């Protein structure tokens, strides 16, 4: 899975950071220390880490991921990463 989206709420710049959905690579989620959560009212799960986005981005860079783009959507910050 070469593409990855991570995000956080603007008021939570220090974490937690959403690092994947229920279809994400379990091995990668394990390396990041992510846990799967199901938020009340959602019919899907997401993986979260308690780290700040900067820490997650550093970890992913060491694993060969590079940021393709970053944007703000409402009160959410989103990064799109790709691994060759």
**pLDDT 10s digits, 47-77:** 999 999 999 999 999 999 999 999 998 889 9
3-82: what CATH class? alpha beta
Q: What pTM did the predictor assign?
A: 0.86
82, HSE (Cβ side, Cα atoms, 13 Å): 4
Domain locations along the chain: 3-82
Query: Pick the residue with more confidence: 39 or 46?
Result: 46
Query: Tell me, what's the pLDDT at 12?
Result: 62
Query: Tell me, what's the pLDDT at 15?
Result: 72
- Exposed, middle or buried by CB within 10 Å (0-12, 13-18, 19+), for 35? middle
């Amino acid at each position: 899975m070469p593409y990855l989206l991570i995000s956080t709420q603007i008021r939570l710049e220090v974490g937690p950071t959403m690092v994947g959905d229920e279809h994400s690579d379990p091995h990668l989620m394990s390396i990041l220390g992510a846990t799967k959560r199901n938020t009340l009212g959602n019919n899907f799960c997401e993986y979260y880490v308690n780290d700040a986005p900067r820490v997650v981005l550093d970890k992913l860079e060491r694993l060969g991921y590079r940021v393709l783009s970053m944007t703000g959507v409402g009160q959410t910050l989103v990064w799109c990463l790709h691994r060759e």
